[in-house]
């Protein structure tokens, strides 16, 4: 079956809304499906086709070393033409189906093996996943990708048709602690997931609209509200490596969002490597042309530091139908570029 490609390529580089102070801890290591390197469901190849194509998709002075991709099967894929040669992909679940199938592909050009843990989310919650044709479901899949090798895995993911109209693919590379960076974002992709008829109202388009002249566009430093951690003095958190472990020198107090040339609203989600998640802030207003600081409650931060599992903060805007409104506004030339965004930061242990 034909598939549509969504690729995530990594480079190896060393007015506040509602708040929920209760963190979900429903899932654990027992909810992870660990796939042996000899498992029949993992297909291996020495051809690194996605990485070989990377020069056509992006330019960088540093070689691309890892590609992570999810190919939804064609029966779920819909496209909206933006302009000649460019389209927007969204997903739609056919009548009678309660799951999405597709293929995960991870290519590793590094000189060492890498470990991946893959989570899928529908809106704010992780969903169950399994290798295609397998019996048991889990909340995440864990597997190794050998050096200079491509691994592919056919999967099935459950969908709740009464839930959120968003679908996210989150492949977490289990980087050794002493190789981590402090404010790197985790590559991921988010789709609009159509579960019902959708009407984009003029008000939604107006909320998405903004104008910039050529000089303003050329001088932009940031197109999207990329997050970084800040401390109690609103300084960027500094990170240290100690005996092969990676730590932050001061406790985090929240996240700073890069200045962007438009206003938006974001939700803040806490999740971990096992698929637990909690919406901790909702509809936070982000003002244009200034750095925005979003504090996180001490209770949440202390609870996060008390946990052993790897944890992440997700910043996401244009929820559900607003992903489509973003694209419609772009097509109608009411904005110069798309602004839908989902950024993920890892929380590191504290060491004074």
197-235: pLDDT as tens digits: 899 999 999 999 999 999 999 999 999 999 999 999 999
Span 116-143, average pLDDT = 95
Q: How sure is the predictor about 98, in pLDDT bands with cuts at 50, 70 and 90?
A: very high
Average pLDDT of the chain, as a whole number:
87
- Most confident range (mean pLDDT) of 62-76, 118-132, 187-201, 238-252 is 118-132
Scanning 274-335, the segments in alpha helix (DSSP H) are 298-305, 321-331
pLDDT recorded at residue 184: 62
Residue with the two structure tokens 């479901």 = 137
pLDDT recorded at residue 44: 93
Cα distance from N-terminal residue to C-terminal residue, the chain: 54
Span 18-31, average pLDDT = 75
pLDDT recorded at residue 210: 96
CB contact burial 283-301 (16+ within 10 A = b; e otherwise): ebebeeeebbebbbeeebb
Count of H-run helices and E-run strands, the chain: 6, 24
Residue 56 parent element (H or E):
helix 54-57
Q: Is pLDDT above 80 for 255?
A: yes
- 50: helix, strand or coil: helix
Span 279-291, average pLDDT = 96
Cβ neighbours of 63 (radius 10 Å): 11
pLDDT recorded at residue 348: 86
Q: How sure is the predictor about 8, in pLDDT bands with cuts at 50, 70 and 90?
A: low
- 251: helix, strand or coil: coil
Who wins on pLDDT, 242 or 184? 242
Contact between 116 and 67 (Cβ < 8 Å): no
* Closest to 244 in 3D by CA, of 180, 304, 309, 303: 180
Listed in sequence order, the residues at least 6 apart from 246 whose beta carbon sits closer than 8 Å to its beta carbon are 177, 178, 180, 182, 239, 240, 348, 349
Q: Tell me, rounded to whole angstroms, the distance of Cα 232 from its chain centroid.
A: 27
- Alpha carbon distance 80, 259 (integer Å): 29
Scanning 111-257, the segments in alpha helix (DSSP H) are 202-208, 214-218
Span 275-295, average pLDDT = 95
CA distances from 142 to 37, 40, 186, 294 (A): 10, 14, 16, 32
Span 291-305, average pLDDT = 92
Q: Is pLDDT above 80 for 4?
A: no
pLDDT recorded at residue 37: 86
pLDDT recorded at residue 260: 97
Q: Is pLDDT above 80 for 21?
A: no
Cβ neighbours of 185 (radius 10 Å): 17
pLDDT recorded at residue 287: 97
Q: How sure is the predictor about 176, in pLDDT bands with cuts at 50, 70 and 90?
A: low
Q: Is pLDDT above 50 for 15?
A: no
pLDDT recorded at residue 104: 96
73 — phi, psi (to 5°)?
A: -60, 150
Listed in sequence order, the residues at least 6 apart from 127 whose beta carbon sits closer than 8 Å to its beta carbon are 120, 121, 157, 158, 159, 160
User: For the purposes of burial, counting CB atoms within 10 Å of the CB of 128, is it exposed (0-12), middle (13-18) or buried (19 or more)?
Assistant: middle
- Alpha carbon distance 185, 189 (integer Å): 12
User: What is the percentage of the chain residues whose pLDDT exceeds 90?
Assistant: 68
């Amino acid at each position: 079956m034909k598939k549509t490609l969504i690729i995530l390529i990594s480079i190896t580089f060393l007015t506040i809304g509602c708040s929920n102070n209760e963190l979900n801890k429903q899932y654990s290591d027992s909810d992870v499906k660990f796939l042996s390197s000899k498992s029949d469901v993992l297909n291996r190849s020495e051809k690194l086709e996605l990485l070989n194509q990377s020069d056509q998709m992006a330019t960088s002075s540093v070689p691309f070393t890892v590609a992570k991709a999810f190919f939804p099967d064609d029966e779920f894929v819909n496209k909206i033409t933006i302009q000649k040669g460019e389209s927007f992909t969204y997903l739609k679940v056919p009548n009678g189906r309660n799951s999405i199938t597709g293929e995960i592909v991870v290519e590793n050009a590094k000189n060492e093996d890498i470990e991946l843990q893959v989570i899928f989310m529908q809106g704010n919650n992780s969903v169950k996943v399994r290798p295609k044709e397998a019996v048991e479901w889990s909340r995440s899949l864990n597997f190794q990708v050998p050096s200079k090798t491509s691994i592919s895995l056919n999967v099935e993911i459950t969908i709740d048709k009464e839930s959120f109209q968003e679908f996210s693919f989150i492949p977490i590379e289990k980087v050794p602690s002493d190789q981590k960076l402090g404010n790197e974002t985790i590559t991921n992709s988010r789709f609009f997931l159509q579960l019902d008829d959708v009407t984009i109202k003029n008000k939604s388009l107006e909320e998405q609209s903004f104008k910039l002249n050529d000089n303003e566009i050329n001088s932009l430093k940031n197109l999207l509200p990329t997050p970084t951690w800040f401390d109690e003095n609103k300084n960027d958190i500094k990170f240290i490596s100690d005996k092969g472990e990676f730590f932050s020198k001061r406790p985090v107090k929240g996240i700073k969002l890069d200045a962007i040339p438009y206003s938006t609203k974001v939700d803040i989600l806490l999740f971990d490597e096992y698929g637990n998640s909690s919406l901790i802030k909702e509809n936070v207003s982000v003002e244009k042309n200034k750095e925005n600081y979003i504090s996180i409650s001490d209770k949440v931060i202390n609870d996060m530091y008390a946990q052993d599992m790897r944890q992440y903060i997700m910043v996401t805007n244009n929820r559900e139908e607003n992903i489509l409104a973003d694209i419609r506004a772009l097509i109608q030339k009411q904005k110069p570029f798309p602004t839908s965004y989902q950024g993920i930061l890892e929380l590191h242990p504290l060491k004074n």
